[in-house]
Structure 1
């Protein structure tokens, strides 16, 4: 692609994302880098690195800080995944995904006629799964960090106790939480004293959350998984027909698993393992696409776009019908990521027409909502951490038990409430992701680290439900195949296909008129879509760290030194 064409694509991407002008997109350094969706959390992470902490220390500090500064998505009441590259130790993957309460049942979101009640799995205490974030951050820090816990959590305590002044980017997120007013404990925090909505310039103080953070700093995870907090959540849940209980918290544990690994054009790609589908889908798509010369085909030309769509279609079909919690189902990871399987998939991709998704087979797709957050960190010793964690929907289930300060997830919506039932994304999925006590719902979260010659080259990830896979994939492809700078790669307009519904989502400017016309002639159905995802990424090249906050993320920042 010509330099002029590249400049026009990226300029269009940035102009269409002008609403995010407050974001601070690019930073450079050689000793440390932190990129997150809130500038206050990025500042805290960088301070931890400067104080002698490693990437794991900074990751824990940023995780706690986002729970205060980015309450839509940062959390103590949710869960997620942490992928790390540790110098001399290799890659480590921690699964702190939420689990279904022990009283959960496969049909708990069906009405008397067997139809899915979508609101029951998205709003209120019935939607709440057992949170894993606190145990995840504490496990990572205890095993691989080096600064005292008190030092890691102190900045988040101060931020919650003293508060911070909300800007317009913060307010836009709070406005999206239309049901917080129905939870008295949450409404007290996220409204003015007279009950009116918070406005830019107001100070958000979270005293109950500060108290809990102080208790975690002093006692570790016991402060969250034993005693007053789980008991308060159980009482609140019982009053609202929820099934989560204090005993569920006592049973929760973090799982350390082997990350998914694949090779792509001389790079080693490490990503999330089941119960996340992200790494499997990412590697399946990459292995299919490695059989084509994407660089020669060009960025978002008719042929390169067609191949991308077809590879995504097949990977999402496999993701939606074959994967689930590895403690409950057998995941065919080796088969789906094998080169022989990719060759077979390529043989089925026609050069001149789209595959109909219904021709692959009937099945189902994931119940997964958009409001996740991701952050990436590297330290000066060669360590790197990629973390994606979530409340699932904006502000989760939009409930908060009194005196806890914790917004709770609506992660039960990520299970299949009924095989073949579509969720809010139109995604449908099968029995591998059915609800069961203690089970972890399937996810698309894709914290990813790309290595070159044994050294960290890229640290990647994004929020946005199933689109996480597309965002992470395309950021990597833009750097590796299309030779974009990281800033260009992150800003470039995106495409997404998830098997069902059989439609290509295209950000503004993603396709030229001619490319769109030719894709539609092949049989692809294309829908315009608002900008999606937030690729919080780091590239290391010749010892220089480049951090890029996605311009789609107005409150975020990259911080380096």
Structure 2
């Protein structure tokens, strides 16, 4: 990012951060004086959105604001994301037109191995990969904050983390969403007294007026703010984490923490022509499955329009749902078979993104009849936790961030490392716990996503941009395996020219190849649509709740206007502000 408007108060602090050379994204930084002066933040909690906006007012850029927003989310959404988890960050520098993907996904500990969750008879040990310290991968959130602040930010990390430290130290009032998710994970939280003491009230779900105070977390955030990455991954905080994990039967070591590094990867970038207009999508590469799957779905829509005379843009109702479900089905088939951590397995990215490949796999899509997933080939399935958070940011210079962060299931592993305030993730469950062997449903786990030391589990997190010459969208959402289709549907609202509020609020449906059903939000399909889809051969399953929590921003460059929206299903907020 271009370092603009850095006030003199912070110059010495920035110089002290590091003498290391910075990345290409910061090398050409100059003040163009041509910013659009509007900025926006959309996040899953009002306190987080406010923290990000405050940082922009203090001279921070989009990357500083994203850190501040994410850090507050780590405090106020312990059920979704936190310092004990990780995530993916998509960063774009408007002046240099460079985009970077920061992979801060958790890693398997050094002592992890393929069969670590199996008993001596080869059977899965119930809950071992879900609850407690054995379920936790080495967290990447703190490393992401330190890396992004050092390489791309305008402000020192201590400034960006100040609001999060304050909310952890002084507390905040919980809301209804907190209560719902605490009740869902109540038994697990009760199993670990250190977690129950912080996140429950008298060992039960807190009342709505309860103020959640996390003084140990404030100390951990302060250590990170003052000492950078080493303040978290080395020294007293690291020792407390490892001692607590090992005392409870976990396998973390100090070496695991010291070796953790984020990875900068090339994002998945692809272009399409739909309804006579060109679009560019930039999204997450492996170990995310999102960018490739989204690209494949758009490639198939383009191929259907150009080669098979089936135009998505001319369809509506059941016909549109059917067609989109068919492209979802095929993308998720490839996701289950080929995707994993590209540092460990060979992902056939070029083949999967090839336009001719999209033409081939879409040629048997028929408007009048559903394909059976079993007809696509061998059956494999990927299981994934579903609780995550997302934030979208654009600053007054057009620099932007789309970041999706997670601890996997609500409240992660439910295990809190004593003395640190860190609620640990259970992302190890995102690996194939027992690949190659059919489960009770006859589904076979993905070998490419098998457990290995220092490997990152496959994820659906899909922070993304979609753009034309005159408009740019920043988009993402939580939702486990449904993330990809939610982002895809939101992007299609953008393609239709609908306002940002429609992207985040539209009714959602989902097909992930297996199980072979269209899942849909409660009351989101009409009786006529349901009957028509069944006539085409689809099975349907109504999800008895709303899902997802999309946060999105639209920059209309032609009219120099920004709009933003937070998903009405959540408690988040989106705000556009003029920055001086």
TM-score (structure 2 length as normaliser) = 0.88
Going from structure 1 to structure 2, the CA distance change for 1:195 and 1:418 (only over 3 Å counts) comes to: closer
Instruction: With a CA cutoff of 8 Å and minimum separation of 6, indicate the structure with the bigger relative contact order.
Output: 1
Per-residue CA deviations over 1:415-450 (Å, capped at 9, x if unaligned) read: 001125689999853110000001000000000011
Cross-structure match for 1:508:
522
Q: Say whether 1:373 aligns with 2:389.
A: yes
The CA distance in 1 between the partners of 2:393 and 2:41, in whole Å, is 5
Per-residue CA deviations over 1:7-63 (Å, capped at 9, x if unaligned) read: xxxxxxxxxxxxxxxxxxxxxx96111111111101101111122211100011111
Give the 5 Å matches for 1:22-101: 31-89=38-96, 90-101=98-109
- Choose from 474, 478, 503 the match for 2:489: 474
Unpaired runs of 5+ in structure 2?
A: 1-35, 306-310
- Choose from 314, 338, 341 the match for 1:296: 314
- Choose from 270, 278, 281 the match for 1:269: 281
Question: Is the CA contact 2:328–2:511 (under 8 Å) kept in the aligned structure 1?
Answer: yes
The CA distance in 1 between the partners of 2:235 and 2:426, in whole Å, is 22
The CA distance in 1 between the partners of 2:389 and 2:442, in whole Å, is 22
The CA distance in 2 between the partners of 1:535 and 1:435, in whole Å, is 30
Going from structure 1 to structure 2, the CA distance change for 1:425 and 1:401 (only over 3 Å counts) comes to: farther
The CA distance in 2 between the partners of 1:423 and 1:76, in whole Å, is 33
Per-residue CA deviations over 1:104-138 (Å, capped at 9, x if unaligned) read: 11011112322223411111111111001110121
Going from structure 1 to structure 2, the CA distance change for 1:257 and 1:469 (only over 3 Å counts) comes to: same
Cross-structure match for 2:405:
389
How far does residue 464 in structure 1 lie from its aligned partner after superposition?
0.8
How far does residue 169 in structure 1 lie from its aligned partner after superposition?
3.1
Unpaired runs of 5+ in structure 1?
A: 1-28
Cross-structure match for 1:258:
266
Q: Say whether 1:185 aligns with 2:194.
A: yes
The CA distance in 2 between the partners of 1:383 and 1:435, in whole Å, is 37
Cross-structure match for 2:352:
336
Cross-structure match for 1:544:
561
Per-residue CA deviations over 1:312-342 (Å, capped at 9, x if unaligned) read: 1110010111011111111111111111111
Local SS of the residue matching 1:121 = coil
Question: Is the CA contact 1:116–1:417 (under 8 Å) kept in the aligned structure 2?
Answer: yes
Going from structure 1 to structure 2, the CA distance change for 1:436 and 1:204 (only over 3 Å counts) comes to: same
Per-residue CA deviations over 1:388-411 (Å, capped at 9, x if unaligned) read: 010001111000111000000001
- Choose from 152, 160, 166 the match for 1:152: 160
Local SS of the residue matching 2:337 = helix
How far does residue 240 in structure 1 lie from its aligned partner after superposition?
2.7
Question: Is the CA contact 1:388–1:461 (under 8 Å) kept in the aligned structure 2?
Answer: yes
The CA distance in 1 between the partners of 2:397 and 2:438, in whole Å, is 46
Question: Is the CA contact 1:426–1:500 (under 8 Å) kept in the aligned structure 2?
Answer: no
- Choose from 112, 129, 146 the match for 2:137: 129
Going from structure 1 to structure 2, the CA distance change for 1:238 and 1:424 (only over 3 Å counts) comes to: farther
Q: What is the number of residues matched between the two proteins? A: 527
The CA distance in 2 between the partners of 1:525 and 1:135, in whole Å, is 44
- Choose from 535, 547, 571 the match for 1:532: 547
Question: Is the CA contact 1:419–1:428 (under 8 Å) kept in the aligned structure 2?
Answer: yes
How far does residue 144 in structure 1 lie from its aligned partner after superposition?
0.7
Question: Is the CA contact 2:461–2:480 (under 8 Å) kept in the aligned structure 1?
Answer: yes
How far does residue 475 in structure 1 lie from its aligned partner after superposition?
0.5
Cross-structure match for 1:166:
174
288-297 or 407-416: bigger deviation: 288-297
Local SS of the residue matching 1:538 = strand
402-411 or 83-92: bigger deviation: 83-92
TM-score (structure 1 length as normaliser) = 0.91
337-346 or 173-182: bigger deviation: 173-182
- Choose from 487, 494, 498 the match for 1:484: 498
- Choose from 344, 349, 359 the match for 2:375: 359
Local SS of the residue matching 2:445 = coil
The CA distance in 2 between the partners of 1:473 and 1:30, in whole Å, is 29
Cross-structure match for 1:278:
290
How much is the aligned-residue C-alpha RMSD, in angstroms? 1.8
Per-residue CA deviations over 1:504-547 (Å, capped at 9, x if unaligned) read: 10113432222221211111100111211111111112221111
